[in-house]
């Protein structure tokens, strides 16, 4: 068959509308591949590409046939062989190259990696030696990702030669390379064998045998990853490293700081080995006397060595196989407990919580060993409650963790049920004022109630109280009746004072002093009030929030009215509505008088399509952030941020001022003299703008809920609608958002610029603790420049 005819058949076979059977297509392409004798000249390649564009060959990958993919990769590789990287990275081929580098098929990705060529790949390797950490780190990450799918790339003779030269640049570069090599070697057994065959692992071994103890210590830190693989364990034994490191534990010169640090590194390494269930730790321990040496370390007078030894015993004993091994050491741990203080005591309690928390199969064996350790500890309930009340956070939290470990077991719940002192402590919410401690107690009670036998074991009252505790959430605060009564009483007295002043003709308490309500002036309406417009004789215009008359019969509504007025009347900021007065109208309705904004609310602007320019949108949004920043600095959360509560006041042509209004749901979460704020309660706000934690029926950080609402408002301004209707699992769009959050690929945000997307994802983090604060948003470069 002539070459021209064969090329015509190739074009026909790859044509999208071709009816040629797949088997025949593969045959034609295999014949064509065999005619391309390597090395293909650049003239041949250009001639082929002039009649058969590269896209034609790449289209064949969409058929997802292994044989077709293999032959296409062979053809493309031969055709592109003569071209340099600059040609391959041209606009014509760049999209194919990027697609190939991210393709799931290993052959297609290999093809693209080969196209990148040594010219670029070797530059990536040499970037590991950069003095600046950022580019070096990026190069390391890229090389690691490449080796996950194409392990031979970094192990070619040229690449290995360059890497070995870089080892001599500096200590920093050397350990940067070792870090990469260890990661690669730990990724699979095949990768480990490749690393070993290049000699790079043996270079690393020399560092472990260095006379410089600090170098040795850094090398030991890197060993943790490699020891997690079966090949790694074999290699460690073959290189006699376990024996060498175990012997260092016999060094009694603990006054030498470096010796102490190296011993601690080795003990940590041993702990990580023992924690890994895949490692034959019992065999290693028997062979090298590891546990005997750890027992000797428990007698150390050096707190650092003692602490890390106790911690490593906890890691080894965190599963049943390890617990069986370290169980003989548990009595020594319990003997140490009375004499420990500070961080040593905290770590000892953490280790006991790990050992007692084991519940692997067979359960009867786990229960037997954990109960014996519990009895040896002999600190329930008095000792453990005493430690849980300590001012030191580490000891208190470790004690609570130990309580939870006890609650995992049937025997543990029985001990708890028999102790009225313990149950009283656990159910008393006043014993822990710190949020972390409150969360731990809540988790302990959840663990108890979720045990299948808890209802039968606990007293009826205790069980019911536990159920109530869970329903109320971890941060529930019982209402203080006296304070609440006094608060409502004070509000009642204040409002009666206003009413009395109107009855004795105090004109200063009548709405009429501000003029006459304008006819047909309804500016807004809500569940408890309507907003109207009033104008005085000087033609000053005010907005008036007129509360419904039946508010007099509802104490909670009265409290809400007073709260709104007291909060809003003391605020003074350009982006907060100015509250003027609280008065009564001629129908004896309470009225809050406010400044009037002629521009209407933001909701109307969005609905009417007035927000055309991105500059205007960003300007209004920054004003919203500045208003919220002012509120949060004062310890006030709005809790109902939405476009309807954001008013716009035109200042001059093309300039507008945004003002936050309606403080009916506002909450003071921190008084000015307080360093720490409190959590808020209650579901409030408008559903599309409410943060997910507000729906949870638990206490929440109200200022962080404001951040979420502000982000939804910005989405509305940019997208002319909310990104999802409700931040609950029942909303399919919110479920999609959660699923795509870590990848940051929510479809609704794809049309936005990168800066806006990043900001929205940071403000709409489902975890309020990791969510941006208002100050974080204001610090963004592009926001600061608005």
- Whether residue 381 has a cis bond before it, omega within 30° of 0: yes
- Residues 761, 674 share a domain: yes
Kindly state the average pLDDT of the residues 239-265: 77
Q: Reply yes or no on whether the pLDDT at 105 is more than 70.
A: no
Task: Say if 575 falls within a structural domain.
Answer: yes
C-alpha dist (Å) from residue 590 to 168, 438, 492, 553: 82, 41, 13, 13
Residue 232 makes CB contacts below 8 A (sequence gap 6+) with 185, 186, 192, 226
pLDDT at 477: 62
- Residues 732, 645 share a domain: yes
**Tokens representing residue 452 in the block:** 């299948």
* Local confidence band at 243 (pLDDT 50, 70, 90 cut-offs): confident
Final residue before a domain boundary, out of 533, 560, 595: 595
CA distance 396 to 432: 10
Contact of 419 with 380, CB cutoff 8 Å:
yes
- Residues 591, 610 share a domain: no
**Tokens representing residue 34 in the block:** 């065999």
Final residue before a domain boundary, out of 595, 625, 642: 595
* Local confidence band at 59 (pLDDT 50, 70, 90 cut-offs): confident
Q: Reply yes or no on whether the pLDDT at 413 is more than 90.
A: yes
pLDDT tens digits along 122-139: 667 777 887 777 777 777
Residue in 431, 339, 344, 352 with CA at minimum distance from that of residue 395: 344
pLDDT tens digits along 301-324: 888 899 999 999 999 999 999 999
pLDDT tens digits along 36-56: 887 788 888 888 888 877 777
Task: Say if 526 falls within a structural domain.
Answer: yes
Q: Reply yes or no on whether the pLDDT at 95 is more than 90.
A: no
pLDDT at 456: 92
Of residues 187 and 168, which shows the higher confidence score? 168
- Cα 749 → chain centroid: 20
Task: Say if 579 falls within a structural domain.
Answer: yes
- Residues 658, 529 share a domain: no
Task: Say if 266 falls within a structural domain.
Answer: no
Q: How many independent structural domains does the chain possess?
A: 2
Q: Is 243 helix (H, G, I), strand (E, B) or coil?
A: helix
Say what angle helices 171-187 and 213-226 make with each other, to 10 degrees: 20
pLDDT at 448: 93
Kindly state the average pLDDT of the residues 255-271: 82
With a pLDDT cut of 90, the percent of the chain lying above it is 30
Kindly state the average pLDDT of the residues 733-738: 91
Q: Reply yes or no on whether the pLDDT at 480 is more than 50.
A: no
pLDDT at 577: 93
- Residues 626, 582 share a domain: no
Task: Say if 676 falls within a structural domain.
Answer: yes
- Residues 649, 621 share a domain: yes
- Residues 725, 629 share a domain: yes
pLDDT at 93: 62
CA distance 254 to 719: 65
Task: Say if 476 falls within a structural domain.
Answer: no
CATH number assigned to the domain comprising residue 579: 3.30.200.20
Q: Reply yes or no on whether the pLDDT at 16 is more than 70.
A: yes
- Residues 732, 607 share a domain: yes
pLDDT tens digits along 210-229: 767 667 667 777 676 666 66
- Residues 519, 619 share a domain: no
Q: Reply yes or no on whether the pLDDT at 501 is more than 70.
A: no
pLDDT at 479: 42
DSSP character at residue 752: S
C-alpha dist (Å) from residue 37 to 45, 51, 337: 12, 19, 77
CATH number assigned to the domain comprising residue 748: 1.10.510.10
pLDDT at 486: 41
Report the DSSP beta bridge partners of residue 195. none
Burial class (CB in 10 A: 0-12, 13-18, 19+), 431: middle
Q: Reply yes or no on whether the pLDDT at 485 is more than 50.
A: no
pLDDT at 97: 58
Which of 350-364, 468-482, 766-780 comes out lowest in average pLDDT? 468-482
Tokens 């656990």 map to which residue?
426
Highest mean pLDDT among 144-153, 277-286, 407-416, 651-660: 407-416
Task: Say if 701 falls within a structural domain.
Answer: yes
- Residues 503, 649 share a domain: no
Kindly state the average pLDDT of the residues 711-720: 95
Q: How many residues does the chain have?
A: 786
Kindly state the average pLDDT of the residues 535-548: 85
Tokens 């080995």 map to which residue?
273
- Residues 651, 614 share a domain: yes
Kindly state the average pLDDT of the residues 258-265: 80
- Residues 629, 571 share a domain: no
The residue from 601, 640, 681, 762 that is catalytic is 640
Kindly state the average pLDDT of the residues 484-492: 45
What are the backbone dihedrals phi and psi of residue 513, each rounded to the nearest 5 degrees, phi first?
Answer: -65, -20
The helix (H) or strand (E) run that includes residue 222 is helix 213-226
CA distance 705 to 615: 26
User: Is there a catalytic annotation at residue 640?
Assistant: yes
**Tokens representing residue 512 in the block:** 């009429």
**Tokens representing residue 89 in the block:** 């990275």
Q: Reply yes or no on whether the pLDDT at 120 is more than 70.
A: no
Range of the domain at 771: 602-784
Final residue before a domain boundary, out of 536, 564, 595: 595
Q: Reply yes or no on whether the pLDDT at 251 is more than 50.
A: yes
The CB density around residue 418, as the number of other CB atoms within 10 Å, is 12
CA distance 91 to 129: 31
Task: Say if 114 falls within a structural domain.
Answer: no
pLDDT at 780: 94
């Amino acid at each position: 068959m002539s070459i021209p005819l064969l090329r015509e058949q190739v074009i026909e076979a790859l044509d999208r509308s071709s009816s040629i059977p797949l088997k025949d297509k593969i045959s034609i392409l295999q014949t064509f591949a065999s005619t391309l004798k390597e090395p293909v000249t650049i003239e041949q390649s250009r001639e082929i590409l002039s009649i058969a564009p590269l896209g034609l060959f790449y289209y064949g990958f969409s058929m997802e046939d292994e044989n077709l993919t293999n032959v296409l990769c062979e053809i493309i590789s031969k055709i592109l062989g003569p071209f340099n990287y600059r040609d391959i990275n041209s606009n014509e081929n760049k999209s194919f190259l990027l697609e190939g580098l991210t393709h799931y098929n290993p052959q297609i990705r290999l093809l693209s990696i080969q196209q990148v060529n040594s010219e670029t790949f070797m530059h990536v390797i040499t970037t590991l030696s950069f003095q600046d950490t950022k580019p070096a780190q990026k190069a390391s990450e890229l090389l690691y990702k490449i080796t996950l799918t194409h392990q031979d790339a970094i192990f070619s003779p040229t690449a290995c030669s360059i890497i070995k030269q870089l080892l001599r640049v500096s200590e920093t570069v050397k350990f940067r390379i070792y870090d990469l090599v260890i990661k690669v070697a730990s990724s699979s057994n095949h990768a480990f064998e490749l690393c070993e065959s290049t000699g790079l692992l043996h270079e690393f071994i020399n560092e472990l045998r260095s006379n410089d103890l600090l170098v040795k210590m850094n090398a030991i830190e890197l060993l943790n990853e490699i020891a997690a693989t079966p090949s790694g364990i074999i290699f460690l034994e073959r290189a006699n490293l376990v024996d060498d490191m175990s012997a260092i534990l016999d060094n009694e010169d603990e006054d030498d700081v470096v010796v102490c640090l190296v011993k601690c590194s080795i003990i940590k390494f041993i702990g990580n080995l023992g924690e890994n269930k895949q490692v034959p730790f019992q065999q290693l321990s028997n062979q090298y006397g590891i546990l005997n040496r750890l027992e000797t370390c428990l007698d150390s007078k050096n707190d650092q060595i003692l602490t890390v030894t106790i911690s490593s015993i906890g890691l080894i004993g965190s599963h049943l196989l390890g617990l069986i091994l370290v169980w003989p050491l548990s009595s020594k741990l319990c003997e140490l407990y009375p004499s420990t203080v500070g961080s040593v005591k905290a770590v000892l309690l953490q280790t006991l919580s790990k050992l007692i928390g084991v519940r692997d199969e067979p359960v009867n064996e786990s229960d037997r060993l954990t109960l014996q350790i519990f009895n040896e500890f002999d600190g329930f309930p008095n000792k453990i409650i005493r430690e849980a009340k300590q001012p030191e956070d580490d000891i208190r939290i470790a004690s609570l963790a130990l309580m939870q470990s006890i609650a995992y077991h049937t025997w543990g719940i029985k001990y708890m049920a028999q102790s009225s002192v313990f149950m009283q402590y656990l159910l008393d919410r006043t014993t822990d004022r710190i949020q972390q401690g409150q969360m731990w107690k809540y988790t302990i009670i959840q663990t108890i109630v979720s045990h299948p036998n808890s209802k039968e074991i606990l007293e009826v009252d205790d069980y019911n109280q536990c159920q109530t505790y869970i329903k109320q959430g971890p941060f529930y605060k019982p209402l203080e009746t006296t304070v609440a009564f006094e608060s409502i009483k004070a509000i009642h007295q204040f409002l009666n004072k206003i009413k009395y002043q109107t009855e004795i003709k105090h004109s200063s308490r009548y709405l009429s002093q501000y003029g006459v309500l304008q006819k047909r002036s309804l500016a807004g309406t809500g569940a408890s009030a309507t907003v109207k417009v009033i104008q005085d004789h000087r033609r000053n215009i005010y907005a008036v929030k007129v509360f419904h008359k039946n508010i007099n019969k509802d104490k909670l509504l009265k409290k809400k009215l007073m709260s709104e007025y007291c909060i809003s009347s003391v605020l003074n900021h350009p982006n907060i509505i100015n509250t003027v007065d609280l008065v009564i109208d001629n129908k004896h309705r309470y009225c809050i008088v406010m400044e009037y904004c002629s521009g209407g609310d933001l909701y109307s602007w969005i609905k009417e399509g007035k927000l055309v320019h991105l500059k205007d949108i960003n300007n209004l949004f920054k004003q919203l952030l500045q208003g919220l920043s002012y509120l949060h600095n004062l310890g006030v959360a709005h809790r109902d941020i939405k476009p309807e509560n954001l008013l716009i006041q035109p200042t001059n042509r093309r300039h507008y001022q945004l003002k936050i209004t309606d403080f009916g749901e506002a909450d003071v979460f921190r008084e000015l003299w307080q360093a720490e704020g409190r959590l808020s309660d209650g579901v409030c706000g408008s559903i599309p703008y409410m943060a997910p934690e507000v729906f949870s029926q638990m206490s929440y950080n109200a200022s962080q809920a404001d951040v979420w609402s502000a982000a939804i408002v910005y989405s509305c301004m940019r997208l002319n609608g909310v990104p999802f209707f409700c931040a609950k699992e029942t909303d399919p769009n919110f479920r999609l958002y959660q699923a795509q959050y870590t990848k940051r690929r929510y479809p609704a945000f794809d049309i936005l610029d990168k800066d806006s997307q990043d900001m929205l994802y940071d403000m709409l983090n489902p975890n309020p603790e990791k969510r941006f604060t208002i100050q974080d948003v204001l610090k963004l470069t592009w926001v600061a420049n608005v």
